[in-house]
Structure 1
Amino acid sequence: MLDGLTWMVAALALMAGTLVFVASFSLLLRRHEVATRLSLLFMPDREHGTLVEMTLAFLERLGRRIEGARVNRELRALVLRAGFFQPSAVYIFVALRYCIAIAVGLGVLVARAGMAGPSAVDFLLGLFFGYLFYRYVVIALGVYADRRAATIRRELPPVLDIMLMALDAGVSIDQCMRYVASVVPGTAPVTGEVLRRHIADIDAGMPYDAALDRLGQRLGLDEGQDLAATIKQALFQGGELGTTLRRFSADLSDKRMATAREQVGRKAPQLTLVMIVFFMPVLLIVLAGPAVVTLTGALKTAGEQMTKRGTAP
């Protein structure tokens, strides 16, 4: 039989545990609210409270556990070049990379496993295809980043022309950037999105030099970094930005023309290869076909004559 002191201690322990649980639960609620506000502030386009948002959060936690505190700089730069600017994007990509590799490996293993179970060859094939897709995901991201860079390279000349018109009208650099970010989404959607994020950084209180450095990183190509450096130099060291941008636009147009000439020059060998593969066999058949038929007929006739001579009495 328990005495009164034991019941009092048990009641106090239960009350203390209840208070700790309530305090911890309220702390978790406040932490979740702060995380939601920050997510809405820095990632306004992301869907919240949905299955996609919970999946992305799970992948981010998994990627952080896999990658740890240090992230490969080349992988982070590649993710940034591909247009994924959120800090969690690199961790989500790491988690997806491992999940795809494991899923492919298990799929190959299950597809090849018979009634007797998987063999050593099945395990080796699963590992091979899993590692192949593990590498292929990075290659696919690099191809996507290159396509995005090519798109921005095509969009920069009209964007620079609009900037030059705004600067010639007498507006400041900041007003020019805001005006360009508001009018180019229709003609240059990728570059316009980068400019809108740059304006958001400025409105959030980020220094102009840091915002311009981030602008060059988000553009993801050498011409974009040169553009950001040119604007930064004109903003902090003085000088006429219109003349520099006009020269930069001309150089960019010359590079585009040189790239177009290079692509046209590569078409001629490709067309020659196509002609060799598809036209030469047909041409050889047309030219050599009658001769082959005549030779075959002559050999057949000669064979028949030799057969008749051999069977004659």
Structure 2
Amino acid sequence: MEQLVDTVTDTGFLIAVFAAISAAAVVFSVGASFLSGGTTVKQRIKRVALEREKMRAEEMARLRGNNAEQRSSMRQAMSRSYMRNVVEKFSLQKAFADEGTIEALARAGYRGQGPLTTYLFLRFATPIALFFVAFGYLSLTVFAGKPLYLNALYALMIGLVGAYLPVLVLKNKTLKRQASVRRAWPDTLDLMLLCVESGMSVENAFRRVAREIGAQSPELAEELTLTNAELAFLEDRTRAYDNLGKRTGLDNVKSVMTALIQADRYGTSVGQALRVMAEEGREQRMMEAEKKAASLPPKLTVPLIIFFLPVLFIVIISPAIIRIFANGGLGGG
């Protein structure tokens, strides 16, 4: 018993025991990390993806502001089953849609299958609805005494014109959206240049600029947010840049995205590319301002002749006319 106690209390024995325990702990820790490494990486990737999706949803809700509920209800209305049934029953996608329809809807801010279904349904239903409305209105009011076939002919013409009404509405929406993006794009380039040169990554720069530019152009901020999400999820980053150029449909945006694609493909400086494009954007904006200023004189010529010159002549000639009539006319003494 005393020998066992001496052995246990021996310094060399205790050092050997603690060294063995430490070695076993190290081996166990390293082995556990190797065994659970794949699972941990997968869990981290999943958490990062969920976090990015949550941030994207919050950013989109913030950019849309008070219109979030309205747009949500519009999307629900777009995906109604009866519209989809009508589109599938009459094969409207083959009749009214082509390769550029989805891109045209995306340029107007409508993405997904719901807006496409609604657009095709409106292309089909609008002329029919206008025909019946115009026929009833003409038959009961304007052309009440005319034959029904004549009213039907007029209503048919109105219905044919109404077939292009959804196209005009979509084009108007696209032009307004592109005008908003075009106005805010030079400032966006300057902000992106500052973010990239300060050390931010392209993804963080897109997210930061989208947050800052939202007050000036919510449409552009939404597009930048979508691009940031695509940069995070798509395997090919060039697709995200190319999609932004297609969604906006603007040459300025496409040229910048082409420069970013080349910088990402060949490993050149993103900051240098953005600096060059930002300078070109400022020069182009200055040229547009000078062009508008140069076009003012021709535009002001007609208003000056119609409104300004007659008043000027009256002011100049009226004292002489008043004095002539006060003296009894031209022949008065």
Matched, 1:140 2:169: yes
Given candidates 139, 154, 172, the residue that maps to 1:113 is: 139
The aligned amino acid for 1:222 is D
TM-score (norm 1): 0.67
Looking at structure 1, the residues matched to 237 and 121 of structure 2 have their Cα atoms a distance apart, in angstroms, of: 34
Shift of 1:270: 2.6
Shift of 1:75: 3.3
The aligned amino acid for 2:114 is S
Looking at structure 2, the residues matched to 162 and 68 of structure 1 have their Cα atoms a distance apart, in angstroms, of: 41
Looking at structure 1, the residues matched to 193 and 147 of structure 2 have their Cα atoms a distance apart, in angstroms, of: 66
The aligned amino acid for 1:75 is T
Looking at structure 1, the residues matched to 234 and 271 of structure 2 have their Cα atoms a distance apart, in angstroms, of: 26
Given candidates 187, 194, 215, the residue that maps to 2:244 is: 215
User: Which residue of 1 is the match for residue 280 of structure 2?
Assistant: 251
Alignment of 1:1-313 (within 5 A): 53-54=76-77, 56-57=79-80, 58-64=82-88, 65-69=90-94, 71-114=97-140, 119-278=148-307
Bigger mean CA deviation after superposition, 201-210 or 185-194: 201-210
Looking at structure 2, the residues matched to 151 and 195 of structure 1 have their Cα atoms a distance apart, in angstroms, of: 14
Bigger mean CA deviation after superposition, 274-283 or 168-177: 274-283
Looking at structure 2, the residues matched to 133 and 107 of structure 1 have their Cα atoms a distance apart, in angstroms, of: 11
Looking at structure 1, the residues matched to 176 and 83 of structure 2 have their Cα atoms a distance apart, in angstroms, of: 26
Bigger mean CA deviation after superposition, 116-125 or 90-99: 116-125
Question: What's the CA shift string for 1:199-236, capped at 9, x where partnerless?
Answer: 22234445312222112112221111112221111112
Change (3 A) 1:55 1:87: closer
Shift of 1:194: 0.5
Looking at structure 1, the residues matched to 103 and 236 of structure 2 have their Cα atoms a distance apart, in angstroms, of: 22
Question: What's the CA shift string for 1:166-199, capped at 9, x where partnerless?
Answer: 1111223233223333443233321110111122
Looking at structure 2, the residues matched to 48 and 248 of structure 1 have their Cα atoms a distance apart, in angstroms, of: 34
TM-score (norm 2): 0.64
Looking at structure 2, the residues matched to 151 and 48 of structure 1 have their Cα atoms a distance apart, in angstroms, of: 19
CA contact (8 A) 2:210 2:221 kept: yes
CA contact (8 A) 2:260 2:270 kept: yes
Gaps of 5+ in 2: 1-56, 62-67, 326-333
Looking at structure 1, the residues matched to 148 and 311 of structure 2 have their Cα atoms a distance apart, in angstroms, of: 48
Shift of 1:126: 0.9
Aligned residue pairs: how many?
254
Identity of aligned residues (%): 24
Looking at structure 2, the residues matched to 51 and 139 of structure 1 have their Cα atoms a distance apart, in angstroms, of: 19
Looking at structure 2, the residues matched to 48 and 263 of structure 1 have their Cα atoms a distance apart, in angstroms, of: 36
Question: What's the CA shift string for 1:134-174, capped at 9, x where partnerless?
Answer: 22432232232122112111111121111111111122323
CA contact (8 A) 1:81 1:219 kept: yes
The aligned amino acid for 1:53 is Q
CA contact (8 A) 1:160 1:245 kept: yes
Change (3 A) 1:240 1:48: closer
The aligned amino acid for 1:68 is Q
CA contact (8 A) 1:63 1:93 kept: no
The aligned amino acid for 2:215 is G
Looking at structure 2, the residues matched to 121 and 279 of structure 1 have their Cα atoms a distance apart, in angstroms, of: 50
The aligned amino acid for 1:236 is R
Looking at structure 2, the residues matched to 103 and 159 of structure 1 have their Cα atoms a distance apart, in angstroms, of: 44
CA contact (8 A) 2:178 2:250 kept: yes
Q: Secondary structure at the match of 1:153?
A: helix
Gaps of 5+ in 1: 1-40, 295-313
Change (3 A) 1:49 1:182: closer
User: Which residue of 1 is the match for residue 31 of structure 2?
Assistant: none
Cα-Cα RMSD: 3.7
User: Which residue of 2 is the match for residue 5 of structure 1?
Assistant: none
Q: Secondary structure at the match of 1:113?
A: helix
Looking at structure 2, the residues matched to 226 and 243 of structure 1 have their Cα atoms a distance apart, in angstroms, of: 14
Bigger mean CA deviation after superposition, 73-82 or 115-124: 115-124
